Structure 1
Amino acid sequence: MTATLMADEAAFENLFPNKSFRIQHKLVGDQRLTLPAILELVKQMPRDRIEYNSGKANVSQDPTTTPLVDLDPQEVVRQIETAGAWMVLKRIEIVPAYKELLETALQSVATAQGFKSLDAAGFTDVQGFLFVSSPGSTTPFHLDSEDNFFVQVHGDKQFAVFDNTDHSIVSEEQIEHAITKHRNIKYEDRFAARGTVNELKPGEGVFVPYIWPHWVKTKDTYSISVAITWKTKEVKRRNDLYVVNSMLRDRGLPQSAPGVKPALDAVKLGAFRVAAGVAAPLRKSEGLRRLIRQVVLGKDANYYYGEKKKSGQVGM
């Protein structure tokens, strides 16, 4: 198999999956990652898998005051060079052609490490997030709930990633909030010493470990990028506990961080996964997904619909 994602062997041996490092890839020129193909993908995606707003955001953007753009998703793509917009298409693996792209890319990494399958390599719950950004757009400081090979396909970007191994940049409480409420985190100048700013051109990328904060800036041309993500069993377990803790905390019940009380974690996790199993068939409906998010994560969980557009703000 021809490798799709590549890095120095020493990086995989010494850094993966605990530290960030640069990668290279062979997805430039893939027809699935061109504006015409992305426009067709937008037409296929459920509305709750599309999030977009103005690219004129701050690195430390308050999500309640994120500026929006008065365009529908298709027009954002059509006018991306001048729209002043940032857009992400979430869970693109629901479309078979993109599922194949993601799995082929990760399989090349698994094979290079001596694994015969994605599962054997720990690449489970594979998901893809496709970003289209106008020139000069900023993705605010935030963290994500999965490991991520971020690849730059068109245009140039600055991608700044920050070492949060000891949680000194983002605390456990802030991590829980970012995973369950809104991903944005307040940026402070003191973080700079812990960060690495990667200048990315097409064909280049960066590995971003689980819950490592980062901000991204598009440079002088429009940008197309893809986050190729996965969750290990331990990451899925920790994320589920963050969700349970957030639900209980919202109901006035203080909670310990995951791992502090293992026996109680096991009880909470068992109950949550039974409930999640019951709800799983309902998630096939966008309307029910929306309702479940609101019940589980709170009234502002569906902020990406942009329903406060008239006020020029978006909820958390």
Structure 2
Amino acid sequence: MSALTTFSSLSSSQTGLIEPADRALFSDVNVRPFCYRHRLALELPLTLPDIAALNDRLPDGDAFKGWQNGVTQIEDGWRTRPSERLTLADTIAGIETNHSLVVLKHIEQDSVVGPALRNLLQEIFDYSSSRFRKDVVLGECLVFLNSPGRKTAYHFDLEASFLLQIAGTKTVHAWPCGDPQVVAESEVEAYCGAGNLSAAVYKPDLQKLAQTYLLEPGDGVHFPSLGPHWVQNGDTVSISINVNYDLRSLHGSLRPILALNHRLEKLGLRPRRPGASLLSDKAKATAWTVARNAKTLARRVIARRRNGEGYPVWMPEHRIG
């Protein structure tokens, strides 16, 4: 397999993981948060031994694996280290008592769980609005493993994401996207420009604006791009799948423009803000994206080549009708 390939197309007969009654909700993808029902837990049963085996199959490195040990609070950032770091294998084995979070990335590439997840990526894409479909570049899936009672800190993501609960329960607090009192422009600039993944600032007085969802197995919730949220895990181990889509408007435009502007500002220059010049925006986005994509792809290809594999990427099949 070549270093960069796409998965083969999926037939419409392979879809059906989102409950039929909820499929119309997906016309609001990237507009507002919403809850829906899914059948992924029936199609893809995941247990702790399954996740341990998945961890063994994935390449090592930050591109594919991440974990955090210790008790965290809503305001804590992703780089917070509240306790001594365990190995990933020990973290998974002791997840019931070690107050940890584990994330395994790009699992739609996996030989065991990948087929069902690639079906899910295409299915959600197909149910979404034409405006969203035109914006999608590629998709990926992750699995989250959370200890009982653990909080996932307040944050937002650039990706449009879909959380699907497989085992255990979670209480999710999600805010609408696009409200400047919830997410300030400076937070977006810090996230995209400086690469600060903990740029979102929790504002306790705005907690009342959040929508709250209790997720049980078979429930899912959609987080729009830049829509902040935080999660309180239930009293048992939680297993969930996260589906992410990279977008041209954000990953291919806003983020590279703000990232390059950040570099220019550090040199003492005063670059134009996004939207001030279409020509300038396009040139910045192109220059930054080419350099960044080459570096990111090289890192992931190296990780895959250590296992003698290529690096497949899921891209949507644009169907007619």
Same fold (TM over 0.5): yes
Q: Which has the higher helix share?
A: 1
TM-score (ref. length: structure 1): 0.79
- Within 1, Cα distance between the matches of 2:267 and 2:78? 23
Please tell me whether residue 167 in structure 1 is matched to residue 180 in structure 2. Answer: yes
Ranges in structure 1 where 5+ consecutive residues have no aligned partner: 287-316
- Within 2, Cα distance between the matches of 1:281 and 1:28? 31
1:111 offset after TM fit, Å? Answer: 4.3
For residues 92-119 of structure 1, give each alpha carbon's deviation from its aligned partner in whole angstroms, at most 9, with x where no partner exists: 234244442322113223445699xxx9
**Within 5 Å, which residues of 2 pair with 1:77-92?**
77-92=92-107
- Within 1, Cα distance between the matches of 2:241 and 2:103? 9
Q: Say which SS state the counterpart of residue 191 (structure 2) adopts.
A: helix
1:259 counterpart residue number: 275
Match 1:11 to one of 11, 15, 25: 25
Residue 241 and residue 101 in structure 1: after superposition, are their counterparts in 2 closer, same or farther (change >3 A)? farther
1:73 offset after TM fit, Å? Answer: 0.5
Q: Say which SS state the counterpart of residue 41 (structure 2) adopts.
A: coil
Residue 35 and residue 268 in structure 1: after superposition, are their counterparts in 2 closer, same or farther (change >3 A)? same
2:215 counterpart residue number: 200
1:223 counterpart residue number: 238
- Within 2, Cα distance between the matches of 1:99 and 1:259? 39
Question: Is the 1:140–1:184 Cα contact (8 Å) retained in structure 2?
Answer: no
Please tell me whether residue 52 in structure 1 is matched to residue 51 in structure 2. Answer: no
Please tell me whether residue 158 in structure 1 is matched to residue 175 in structure 2. Answer: no
Residue 173 and residue 152 in structure 1: after superposition, are their counterparts in 2 closer, same or farther (change >3 A)? same
Question: Is the 2:29–2:129 Cα contact (8 Å) retained in structure 1?
Answer: no
Question: Is the 1:91–1:129 Cα contact (8 Å) retained in structure 2?
Answer: yes
Residue 92 and residue 252 in structure 1: after superposition, are their counterparts in 2 closer, same or farther (change >3 A)? farther
User: How much identity, in percent, do the aligned residues show?
Assistant: 26
Residue 5 and residue 169 in structure 1: after superposition, are their counterparts in 2 closer, same or farther (change >3 A)? same
Ranges in structure 2 where 5+ consecutive residues have no aligned partner: 1-12, 304-321
Counterpart code for 1:124: V
1:160 offset after TM fit, Å? Answer: 0.7
Report the aligned-residue RMSD. 2.7
Match 1:93 to one of 79, 87, 108: 108
1:32 offset after TM fit, Å? Answer: 5.9
1:11 offset after TM fit, Å? Answer: 2.4
Counterpart code for 1:103: R
Counterpart code for 1:248: L
Residue 64 and residue 77 in structure 1: after superposition, are their counterparts in 2 closer, same or farther (change >3 A)? closer
TM-score (ref. length: structure 2): 0.78
